[in-house]
């Protein structure tokens, strides 16, 4: 992948440079939504790697190599911060990225600590991809923050693909989700952690399968707050900008992107520049 020429984003001042966001596909839109709601003056460039989706079933070294390639594209466009809006990408690559590039990185972390604090039964369930659950970073997270609570993890192949197809309801989606959620509820879990950024788009189906006594937690809002903290720390927070732009790119078919955008994006469907990332 060659680095492209920098686009005409308002980068004369560092604080007006865009934020870059990466995900294995459209799942990171759940994080993008939270960032834009919290930081409306920021320009954002999102790359969804739908051509390589899902990351969760891939080896960690392959995920890391791919994330570095896409980060190089964002660096070439002059971003001031990169958000890895993907748990699998974070586990595979965030530490190496921080050691390589001078800009800050914000990654995903399953909400084990708040889930443990919220649990009354002492049992927490984590729904995630295979790659996320296999990573050492995740096991350290449980060791450091589970607080004596029993954490049951469930790899969930198929959920990412449902979201990538825009299949967010219906009997098939409910059947797949219930197959993962029911064993956790039967084991006593009263809090479920959504350990993949695709899963919030299935939240209604997950909550229906879990029942009203179970709390469902995701980390999108927490990541948005962390992005704001990092920008404030480095005096990079944009303010009072009238030219904030939202650019959403996919490595997959552009037609699929344009079909999914109005279905999954919680804000206006008409305010983004949509396109395909040519490799």
Domain ranges of the chain: 14-108+221-276, 112-218
Judge whether 104 and 234 are in contact, CB under 8 Å. Answer: yes
What's the mean pLDDT when you consider all of the chain? 89
pLDDT above 50: residue 3? no
Instruction: Report the first-to-last Cα separation within the chain, whole angstroms.
Output: 6
Question: With respect to CATH, is domain 14-108+221-276 assigned 3.40.50.1860?
Answer: yes
Q: Which pTM does this prediction carry?
A: 0.89
Asked if pLDDT for residue 97 goes beyond 80, the answer is yes
Interhelix angle 29-38/220-233, nearest 10 degrees: 50
**pLDDT at residue 51, rounded to an integer:** 95
Query: What pLDDT score was predicted for residue 241?
Result: 62
The reported pLDDT for the residue numbered 269 is 53
Task: Give the list of residues 6+ apart from residue 207 with CB closer than 8 angstroms, or none.
Answer: 214, 216
Q: Residue 25 corresponds to which tokens in the numbers above? A: 């596909």
Q: Mean of the pLDDT values across residues 56-80?
A: 94
> Above 70 in pLDDT, residue 124?
yes
Query: Would you state the pLDDT for residue 8?
Result: 43
What class is the 112-218 domain?
alpha beta
What amino acid positions are annotated as catalytic residues? 86, 196
> What CA–CA distances, in Å, run from 84 to 70, 74, 89, 138, 247?
11, 12, 7, 15, 16
Q: Which of 122-126, 127-131, 186-190, 264-268 has the lowest mean pLDDT?
A: 264-268
Which range among 22-26, 57-61, 104-108 shows the weakest confidence by mean pLDDT? 57-61
Residues 179 and 139: beta-carbon distance below 8 Å: no
């Amino acid at each position: 992948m060659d680095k492209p020429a920098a686009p005409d984003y308002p980068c004369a001042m560092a604080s007006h440079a865009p934020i870059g966001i990466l995900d294995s596909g459209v799942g990171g839109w759940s994080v993008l939504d939270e960032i834009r709601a919290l930081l409306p003056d920021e320009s954002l460039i999102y790359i969804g790697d739908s051509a390589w989706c899902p990351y969760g079933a891939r080896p960690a070294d392959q995920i890391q190599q791919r994330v570095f390639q896409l980060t190089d594209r964002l660096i070439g466009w002059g971003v001031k911060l990169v958000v890895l809006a993907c748990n699998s990408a974070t586990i595979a690559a965030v530490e190496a990225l921080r050691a390589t590039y001078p800009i800050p990185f914000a990654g995903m972390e399953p909400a084990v600590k708040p889930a443990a604090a919220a649990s009354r039964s002492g049992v927490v369930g984590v729904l995630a991809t295979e790659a996320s659950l296999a990573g050492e970073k995740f096991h350290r997270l449980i060791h450091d923050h589970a607080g004596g609570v029993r954490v049951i993890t469930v790899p969930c192949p198929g959920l990412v693909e449902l979201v990538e197809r825009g299949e967010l309801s219906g009997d098939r989606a409910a059947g797949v989700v219930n197959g993962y959620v029911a064993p956790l509820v039967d084991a006593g879990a009263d809090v479920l952690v959504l350990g993949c950024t695709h899963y919030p788009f299935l939240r209604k189906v997950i909550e229906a399968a879990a029942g009203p006594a179970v709390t469902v937690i995701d980390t999108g809002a927490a990541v948005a707050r962390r992005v704001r903290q990092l920008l404030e720390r480095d005096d990079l927070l944009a303010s009072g900008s009238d030219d904030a732009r939202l650019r959403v790119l996919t490595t997959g078919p552009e037609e699929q992107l344009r079909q999914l955008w109005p279905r999954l994006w919680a804000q206006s469907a008409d305010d983004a520049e949509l396109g395909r990332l040519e490799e």
